[in-house]
Amino acid sequence: MLKQDLRLKQLLKLSPQQIQLMKLVQLPTLAFEEVVKQEIEENPALEDDSHDDYYDSADSFDSENEFDDSGDNEIIDAPDINIDEYLSDDEVPSYRMQSNNYSDDDEEKELPYAQYESFQEHISSQLHTFRLAENEEEIADFIVGNLDDDGYLRRDLSSIVDDLAFTQGIYTDVKTIEKLLINYIQRLDPTGIGARDLRECLLLQLRSKNNTESTELAYKIINEMFDAFTKKHYNKIQQKFSISEDKLKSAISEIERLNPKPGKAFTNNSKNTEQIIPDFTIRIVNGELELTLNGRNAPELKISREYSEMLDTYKNTENKSREQKDAVMFVKQKLDSAKWFIDAVKQRQQTLYITMKSIMDYQEDYFLSGDEEQIKPMILKDIAEITGLDISTISRVANSKYVNTPYGTLLIKDLFSESLTNSEGDEVSTREIKTILQEVIENEDTKKPLTDDNLMKILNDKGYNIARRTIAKYRDQLNIPVARLRKKI
């Protein structure tokens, strides 16, 4: 049965402008710069009049009076903005004044692109120096294509046989695959590629070394007592081979010089180097902290005067044709889009500056001294309460932004940490505890490394009431192995 009724509901719906603002806030500098360039290219009503790389955000707006945010759902009221505020003062946009005054004979100033030989190309070029039958060469190329970035063949040989049959129409057997792998591929450079596990990789490298007493002993250790070696049961190894501690040290030294991931030498070269552009800079001036926002985060965007004049011309035209109406709808759409984007950029600047200013003031002792023990416990909620912003907004700002300080460039989210209470009742940052834990482990006796129970007692003696499982958690976060794997002879 159909019926009609009237219901009143309260819904929270994000406008496209709000979504655009949230996306801009979470972008790092380089990504934001690309978004601005793309917007300028796509919207002819938007122009960039930026000239300076850095500016002091405190001089650009009053954070207490001009900015008000109750969370991620703030509305950008673009239609009420006077378009004259967005117009450039110049009759001719700055980009039209630029010209290329360089001759074709001038030296090219741009850096050339580095071209690297990939791992697969390096292996294939060596493989093709062997005289193999056509069928064998195709199989060997297929095996090389199955090597992972570390240089290992981690796939089962029977699976490769099946793949060759189904995808290449080549029928072979496991013995042929193994023969090509051992006799050809594992003989290629770098030594150790084509291994099916770590043990085989180390054995291949030791086999290629000159026969000395240390290398022969190292080969026996890996070949016969690999599990004991990985677990650092050195006493068992000494008893097995009846050797002294000095000989064992020499053999272990040979093993430590081996490369467990021979393929990484090539995969690392082919990766692009990541460049970090700090979003903020903190300086100490006359004993006071000074915060500046990277100018790349604050482009001077303006509305195109030509587009504004086109809109004014239409308003003053008495007889408007259909084509003029269509054109003015396009112009108005681009102008509105440009105004929304400019507002979103300005609010992004304000959000970034206010958030970082609050973090800087909260961690003033650390930024003045550089001592990590001065870092106060700080969570997203603390900064959200100070700024009046939503916690999700603080998270977006801190997650991918960097700050340049007198002590290096830091990821902002690393300044956030939970708190623990020491024996004196004071709250201390978990980052401080991790620093002390790392120092204790670095100064331990490597022949008798400290267990988690020992580390717990040491920190308890220092006044930090911390459990053993928490020690284990912090140790894992610092990428420090358990005591047994830290043992050295």
Are 378 and 326 contained in the same domain?
A: yes
pLDDT digits (tens, 9 = 90+) for 474-489: 888 888 888 888 887 7
Are 126 and 262 contained in the same domain?
A: yes
Domain boundary among 220, 241, 268: 268
Identify the three-state secondary structure at position 403.
Answer: strand
If one counts the domains in the chain, the total is 3
Domain boundary among 359, 386, 414: 414
Q: For residue 80, tell me if it sits in a domain.
A: no
Q: For residue 5, tell me if it sits in a domain.
A: no
Token pair 């046989």: residue: 161
pLDDT tier at 11 (50, 70, 90 boundaries)?
Answer: low
DSSP classification of residue 113? P
Would the pLDDT of 202 be above 90? yes
Domain boundary among 414, 438, 456: 414
Token pair 């008893």: residue: 239
190: preceding bond cis by omega (within 30 degrees): yes
416 with 456: CB under 8 angstroms?
Answer: no
pLDDT digits (tens, 9 = 90+) for 138-193: 999 999 999 998 899 999 999 999 998 998 888 999 999 999 999 999 999 889 99
pLDDT for the residue numbered 320 = 66
Would the pLDDT of 197 be above 50? yes
Considering only CA atoms, which of 344, 399, 335, 342 is closest in space to residue 19? 344
Q: What CA–CA distance (Å, rounded) separates 141 from 136? A: 9
Q: What does the angle CA 196 – CA 199 – CA 200 come to, to the nearest 5 degrees?
A: 50
**Percent share of the chain, pLDDT over 90:** 23
Would the pLDDT of 201 be above 90? yes
Contacts of residue 76, Cβ cutoff 8 Å, sequence gap at least 6: 15, 17, 18, 21, 340, 343, 344, 347
Are 383 and 465 contained in the same domain?
A: no
pTM of whole model > 0.75? no
Q: For residue 353, tell me if it sits in a domain.
A: yes
Are 323 and 439 contained in the same domain?
A: no
Domain that holds residue 235: 119-268
466 with 459: CB under 8 angstroms?
Answer: yes
